[in-house]
Each structure stands twice: as C-alpha cells, then as structure tokens.
Homo-oligomer: A and B are copies of this chain.
Amino acid sequence: MTLTEENYIKAIYQLGKYGTLNVSTNSIAEALDTKASSVTDMIKKLDEKGYANYKKYQGVILSVEGKKIAANIVRKHRLWEVFLVEKLNFAWDEVHDIAEQLEHIKSEKLINELDKLLDYPTHDPHGDPIPDKLGDIKKTDKILLFNLEENTSGVCVGVKDTSSAFLRYLDKHNIALGSEITVLSKEDFDDSMVIKIQDSVMSISQVVANNLFVKQLSQKN
C-alpha cells in the first residue's frame, strides 16, 4: 500500500460517507487536487487490487477490505490530531496538515500506545468520531445549528468546515466544542440568526450556522 493509494482510498471513504456511497471520478480529483485522468488510472488499480469496486463511468465504492484500510487511516489521522492538541499545544486549526502526514506512519503498536496515552478519545478536536480498531464508528445525532428551531438549545459538538479561517472565527467569538447555544431568533431575509452563547448574545450568518454541528438539548420546560 503506497502513500498515494492510501490517500485515494481515504478520499473515496470520506466522499462516500464512510464508504457507503458511490463516488465520482471528478469529486475525487477535486478532493485530491489532481486530474480526472489520474483518478481513473488509480481507481482501476484499486479495483484490481480488491480495495474497491469500479465500473466504467459509474464511479467507485470501497470494498470491505478497502473500508477497513480507510477507517484505519482516519483513525490514525484523528488520534494524531488529538495528540497534537492535547500534548503538543497546537490549536485546532493547526493540526490537519500535520495529521495528513502522520496518518501514513505504519506501526500498529504506535497507534495503540498513542490511543492509550490519550486515554482512548472518541472524538478529534473538530468533533469528528475516531473509528475504533475494527473500523467501527460511533454515530452521533448531531444536526447543523442552522436546523435548530427558535427557542431551542444545543451543545456545540463539531464543525463541518475545518478551515483555519472558520476555526479562528469561532475562537474569536468564544464558540468552542461544548459551548451551549440557544437560538433566540431567525431572520428570514438572509437566514442569519441571533443566538445566546455562554451568556453573551450575538448574530451569526447562515454560513456559520451551516458549518456548526450541535447536539440538541431536550426542550426547555
């Protein structure tokens, strides 16, 4: 398994919702910043090697074997992200690129010991679940803040956009994983909303609301 193959497998896994959906050639090309023709070559190879199922013009989906490999790469990526934040004082917007490198390090023992050192975390710094050793992922019932009704509350549990720009916006406005958010009002005109977050009130745009995951809290009495 080459580094390049791993990157393709991971992209197919992520684009296809943890390996459950077919993925198009172009979407892979965009995700990996490469050309569609390169993707065609690679998905043919992944099919031949048994990591994926590919039918011409029909896109590609991972095999059971491929899904296992992908989940393990994602597991490593997310554990390393936790390590960087928890042990090496990185901010949550600084870890992704380094984790992209670290996820390819090959050592079963290394990742198991890292898991132990970090006390078996279940989620990465962006709220994404960490697959277990078998590749299984704990599903959470998170929804986009955008879909939270007026006068209901939720706890911030993840981000959809993981760009530095967005993460620093959240930092600046004291929005962090674990913050409790209440939707005070929604503005039909531009889909912005006014929220209460940790006792302060602010207005957020539709863009922000659509990139923040919350876990809904049971209705107020």
A residues adjacent to B (C-beta < 8 A) = 84, 87-90, 94, 97-98, 101-102, 104-107, 109-110, 113-114, 117
List the B side residues contacting A105 at CB < 8 Å: 98, 101-102, 105
A50 CA / B87 CA spacing, docked (Å)? 37
**A64–chain B nearest beta-carbon distance, Å:** 27
Given contacts A88-B114, A90-B109, 11 further A-B pairs with CB under 8 A are A84-B110, A87-B117, A88-B109, A88-B110, A88-B117, A90-B113, A98-B105, A98-B107, A101-B107, A102-B105, A105-B105
CA distance A193 to B205 in the complex (A): 78
| Copies assembled | 2
Q: Are B89 and A110 in contact (CB under 8 A)?
A: no
Q: Which residues of B contact A106 (CB under 8 A)?
A: 101
Chain B positions within 8 Å of A87 at CB level: 117
Q: List 21 A-B contacts (CB under 8 A).
A: A84-B110, A87-B117, A88-B109, A88-B110, A88-B113, A88-B114, A88-B117, A89-B113, A90-B109, A90-B113, A94-B109, A97-B107, A98-B105, A98-B107, A98-B110, A101-B104, A101-B105, A101-B106, A101-B107, A102-B105, A105-B105
